[in-house]
Amino acid sequence: MITLTTEFLDEQWRQLIEGGDLRITLSEWDDGDAYTEASLGPLSGKRAFAVLVLEERVVPDIAIIIRFRKVGEQDREFSYAAPDGARYTAVAERRRSGVVETQELVIQSLRTSLDSRRKGLLESDLLRQRVVAIVGVGTGGVHVAIELAKAGVGSFSLVDDDRLEIGNICRHHAGISFVGRRKVFATRDLIHETNPLAKVEVYPFRADEAHREELERVIRKADLVVCATDSRPSKLFVNALCVQSGRTVVFGGAFRRAYGGQILRVRPNKSACYHCFVLAMPDTEADHEVSSQEDAAAIAYSDRPVAVEPGLSIDVAPIATMVSKLVLQELILGETSTLEILKKDLDAGWYLWINRPEPGTKYASMPPLSESSDEMTILRWYGIYLDQEPGCPTCGDFIKSLRVQYGLNGANRNEPEVRPFPDANAGSEEN
């Protein structure tokens, strides 16, 4: 089968009309079983050459010939409608060992074909205009990026300074051929394999104070931010910038060994922020994967090391998928969409998911999914409402809180020095 897109033909058509034939490059797959435009997607197969031909023009001995013949305006059967309004039928032939074989040829609109599978649930034009920034494109972040690209989100900004290592491949969407590359570049290519029309900007730097200005610009350009880093300092830093910029941010992360995970959606000045969450639930917030040596070193005890214990990809996937669903709900707020029916179901700010009753945790005795329908169980999402902390240093009135706590009169005393933004230099992106 040979697959061409109308977008590609539209770009090349003038040259073809002027010259009568036009050589093009194809990617050959599976020993000649399939051919696609070489420019279609970042991943390519073996190079093959073809020629586009008008009418009965004789062309040099090239293995693949795709011939276009003009049909009348009344003819209903045609393969391609040219930019000038003329219609053509198209046939493809391949010469192999002196034998000419007819090849199946498919000409489709890339944009129309991609959008057709989403119609009825999502208004494709709506999502095409949305910009999503993803900070941390490890196992969870890359999953979110690909799902949003499949749904039709038009633009992405990716932030992560990490590189793919061989050990990442058992969890990350990128395969062994991506090893050594920056995760942002690998994720960009995976997005383009899913949606070649998506716009992707990459920022290979760490989400920390040293890159505050760059990250602020990325966040301000986005309609929504996803934070999929795996350290408290980096999450608090992203949270502070999003609250300051008025951008909704969705945090997703797995517990140690991915026995479960949690998601927090922050709508600035309307819901609890991540700093509120740390203050209200410090133990729960601190339970996260140790998925790299850098993560282990950051929390190691002075007398003994901490083991690197990442969870399975299959256990991270439900968390990342739920993050993607919450992001889509935010992107369609206020718009007419079939998915808006989930607005009441996804109203809580904090979501909890448990993959298994992990021994030594407070979830070890949770009932199995099959034995309960009215309480939290294994393998079931649980939404929790979380109030803002009035004295939160990021989104609350921290100074007023100190005055109340210590009985200070602000009019007569010097205000205490406050650092509303946490130190993020120890942050690391998700592996």
**Three-state SS annotation for 297-363:** HHHCCCCCCCCCECCCHHHHHHHHHHHHHHHHHHHCCCCCCHHHHHCCCCCCCEEEEECCCCCCCCC
Contact 226, 330 (CB under 8 A): no
Among 61, 89, 108, the domain boundary falls at 108
**Residue 394 placed within a domain:** no
- Please indicate whether residue 251 or residue 332 has the higher confidence score (pLDDT): 251
**Rounded Cα distance, 215 and 232, in Å:** 17
Model confidence at 339, pLDDT cuts 50, 70, 90, reads confident
* Range from 163-172, 307-316, 347-356 that averages highest in pLDDT: 347-356
pLDDT at 75: 78
H-helix segments, 93-182: 110-116, 124-128, 139-151
Please tell me the chain's helix, strand, coil percentages from 3-state DSSP, rounded to the nearest 5.
35, 25, 45
Structure confidence by residue, pLDDT tens digits, 210-241: 999 999 999 999 999 999 998 899 999 999 99
Average pLDDT over all residues of the chain: 85
**Rounded Cα distance, 372 and 234, in Å:** 37
Strand (E) or helix (H) holding 214: helix 212-221
**Residue 423 placed within a domain:** no
Range scoring the smallest mean pLDDT among 51-55, 241-245, 395-399: 395-399
- Please indicate whether residue 291 or residue 271 has the higher confidence score (pLDDT): 271
**Residue 418 placed within a domain:** no
pLDDT at 296: 43
For the segment 239-268, the average pLDDT, to the nearest whole number, is: 95
Distance of CA 413 to the CA centre of its chain: 49
pLDDT at 136: 97
**SS3 state at 369:** helix
pLDDT at 395: 93
User: In this structure, are 256 and 319 located in the same domain?
Assistant: yes
For the segment 140-146, the average pLDDT, to the nearest whole number, is: 97
Among 58, 83, 108, the domain boundary falls at 108
User: In this structure, are 144 and 262 located in the same domain?
Assistant: yes
Name the pairing type of β-strands 199-203 and 155-159. Answer: parallel
User: In this structure, are 220 and 301 located in the same domain?
Assistant: yes
User: In this structure, are 99 and 171 located in the same domain?
Assistant: no
**Residue 430 placed within a domain:** no
Asked if the model's pLDDT at residue 76 lies above 90, the reply is no
**Residue 160 placed within a domain:** yes
For the segment 95-104, the average pLDDT, to the nearest whole number, is: 84
Q: Which of 157, 144, 161 is nearest to 427 (CA)?
A: 161
Specify the number of domains making up the chain: 2
**Residue 58 placed within a domain:** yes
Q: What is the pTM (predicted TM-score) of this model?
A: 0.81
User: In this structure, are 309 and 185 located in the same domain?
Assistant: yes
Tokens 């718009």: give the residue. Answer: 335
pLDDT at 209: 95
User: In this structure, are 236 and 343 located in the same domain?
Assistant: yes
**Rounded Cα distance, 293 and 28, in Å:** 41
Contact 366, 377 (CB under 8 A): yes
Among 108, 134, 156, the domain boundary falls at 108
What is 123-146 written as a DSSP string? -HHHHHT-EEEEE--SHHHHHHHH
pLDDT at 424: 45
User: In this structure, are 104 and 189 located in the same domain?
Assistant: no
pLDDT at 297: 46
User: In this structure, are 272 and 136 located in the same domain?
Assistant: yes
User: In this structure, are 95 and 123 located in the same domain?
Assistant: no
pLDDT at 99: 83
The distance in angstroms from the start CA to the end CA of the chain is 38
**Residue 72 placed within a domain:** yes
Structure confidence by residue, pLDDT tens digits, 85-94: 999 999 999 9
User: In this structure, are 132 and 166 located in the same domain?
Assistant: yes
For the segment 241-269, the average pLDDT, to the nearest whole number, is: 95
Tell me what percent of the residues of the chain surpass a pLDDT of 70: 84
pLDDT at 408: 65
User: In this structure, are 190 and 298 located in the same domain?
Assistant: yes
List the structure tokens of 165.
Answer: 């290592």
Q: Which of 173, 176, 175 is nearest to 142 (CA)?
A: 173
Model confidence at 411, pLDDT cuts 50, 70, 90, reads very low
pLDDT at 45: 73
Which structural domain range is residue 281 located in? 116-384
* Range from 129-138, 168-177, 274-283 that averages highest in pLDDT: 129-138
Tell me what percent of the residues of the chain surpass a pLDDT of 90: 59
* Range from 76-90, 106-120, 358-372 that averages highest in pLDDT: 76-90
List the structure tokens of 229.
Answer: 């880093």
Centre a 10 Å sphere on the Cβ of residue 215 and count the other Cβ atoms it contains. 26
| CATH classification of the domain holding 311 | 3.40.50.720
pLDDT at 165: 92
**Residue 291 placed within a domain:** yes
User: In this structure, are 240 and 204 located in the same domain?
Assistant: yes
Contact 108, 9 (CB under 8 A): no
pLDDT at 321: 97
Range scoring the smallest mean pLDDT among 262-266, 286-290, 351-355: 286-290
